Copies of this chain bind each other. A is one copy, B any other.
Amino acid sequence: MTNTISPRKAGVTELNAAVPQTLSRQSGESLVEQIVRSVETRIDDKLLRTGARMPSIRQFADTHRVSRFTVVEAYDRLVAKGFLESRRGSGFYVRERSPMLATNAASPRASEAPPPHLDVVWLVRSMFRQNPQQKMPGSGLLPVDWLDGELVANALRAISRQNQNLLLQYGNPQGFLPLRQQLQLKLAELEIAATPDQIVTTSGVTQALDIVARHFLQPGDTIFVDDPAWFLMFGSFALLGAKVVGIPRLPDGPDVAQLAELAALHKPKLYVINSVLHNPTSTSLSAAKAFQILKIAEQHDFTIVEDDIYCDMHPGSAIQPATRIAALDQLNRVIYLGGFSKTLAANLRVGFIATSEDMAKRLSDRKMLSTLTTSDLGERTVYKILSEGHYRKHVDRLRSKLDGVRDKTAKQLERVGLTVDIAPPAGMFLWVDAGCDTNVLTERGMEHGYLLAPGSLFSPSQLPSTRMRLNVGYMHDVGILRFFEREIGSLS
């Protein structure tokens, strides 16, 4: 992993641009990680442009009072991540990178959107990048400082002190039993009766959807989704050869007249729906709509996949109306999905499926064939946090925090020229209208280092849209508001 690179000269401008403002030895992050993240940010911010030469190892080390080895390692990582390239005998240079930026450079006409499929994958990839926190208003996750790292770390430490042999073996393919017992209690509170035998853990809702889709769909089959809806699944279903059809989403749920008409036409196998705090609109299903959807599903004999990942951001149906279709149907025609990536820790990869006992067995076997087991460690961690009562307090705090910023953010957005016509009383997303093509706005955002989530992504047709999804957790940054004000003024 070591390298010997002879020190070279670099211009003062480049040096300043490449320099992290502060390197801290007290930070939880290593010096190498701090340098890597900082250089990445500067490249994203265009402070360092493609082709610019980086300071030499020695210069960098001297300026920042770190060892040369630290700089070598940081540069090596930046090379491995595609941010820098090493030219033999000449030093390190900023490399041309992202497909989207490359597209922009080649064809500067703003109306040319990148290819839709690439785009989804590209956006999702970007969301995993270690962007500076404040620059991710398009993110699907809350900022890490909204979550509770201490809670997760404590649970992990407790587990690592338990019987260590537990760490060595495979978990139970259906999932850690005590967690499934806890989930039974959680579901009972939502009026959904499910024994642990009816529950299968998964690697997040993503794998849950994949397992269910693979079980039900043959190439050529139709699957219904909401329009708009979570974009990643469109790609996943398309890979299975399924036809993905969108059902227009209204403030109280899908357009049921359209649903009935399209069901008669397409004979879908599945309908995937967020009934509570729908992504991206944060709207929830009315009881009447839930009943109608179930009736249409019975009439046209399709299965409803109820993705309730935002469940715990909702204050409960006693406070705000929200109906789960599974509460009406009791897991006969409804397969219910949930998870902890949004509220607890995405890294743990813990989601679950609740369904009939027979279907749970089949889906568990299918899961076994594709990933053997899911992370027993993650499941034990979530179990511990749930069973010790910490989770409930944590999500209460999260909801208060969201309530504290949601309306304020909406008002600020209105002031800078965005229309917030759907005012959700809970949840983390605002589905706003920018009055201009948000694909173009997203490209402009990229140039300023902002990650946005344009409306086109959320539609199965992927047509350009004036809508976009904003995460209220990232909207305290004044830069983003100024950016909207400026760009929306010039684009619309």
Contact = CB atoms under 8 A, between A and B. Distances in A.
A207 interface: yes
A347 B1 contact: no
Contacts of A164: 28, 149-150, 152-153
Contact of A173 (B125, B196, B204): B125
A141 B165 CA distance: 13
Contacts of A341: 170
A431 to B, nearest CB: 22
A165 B203 contact: no
A168 B346 contact: yes
A415 interface: no
A366 interface: yes
A375 B352 CA distance: 16
A145 B164 CA distance: 10
A66 interface: no
Interface stretch (A41-49, A76-84, A88-96, A324-332): A76-84
A144 B168 contact: yes
B128 A145 contact: no
Contact of A378 (B235, B369, B372, B375): B375
Interface in A235-266: 235-236, 239
Contacts of A150: 164
A167 B370 contact: no
B206 A370 contact: yes
Given A157-B160, A197-B80, A371 B347 contact: no
Contact of A371 (B180, B349, B366): B349
Interface in A185-214: 185, 195-197, 203-204, 206-207, 210, 214
Contacts of A485: none
Interface string A139-176: 00100110101101110110111111111111111000
Contact of A204 (B169, B232, B372): B372
B346 A170 contact: yes
A239 B181 contact: no
B177 A369 contact: no
B349 A374 contact: yes
Contacts of A166: 149, 347
A interface, by DSSP: helix, strand, loop or mixed?
helix
A377 B167 contact: no
Interface string A53-75: 00000000000000000000000
A346 B214 CA distance: 25
A107 interface: no
Nearest to A365: B121
A265 B25 CA distance: 64
Nearest to A377: B347
A40 B209 CA distance: 33
B239 A373 contact: no
Contacts of A236: 369-370
Nearest to A122: B365
B181 A80 contact: yes
A146 to B, nearest CB: 9
Interface in A301-360: 341, 345-349
A160 B153 contact: yes
A29 interface: yes
A27 interface: yes
A371 B207 contact: yes
A5 B111 CA distance: 70
Contact of A373 (B80, B156, B349, B365): B349
A219 interface: yes
B160 A195 contact: no
A475 B411 CA distance: 71
The residue among A180, A236, A375 with the most chain B CB atoms within 10 A of its own CB is A375
17 contacts: A27-B163, A80-B181, A128-B172, A144-B165, A154-B160, A168-B345, A169-B345, A169-B346, A170-B341, A203-B372, A203-B374, A214-B239, A346-B373, A348-B375, A349-B371, A349-B372, A371-B371
A-B pairs with the 6 shortest C-beta distances? A149-B164, A28-B163, A144-B165, A156-B160, A153-B160, A236-B369
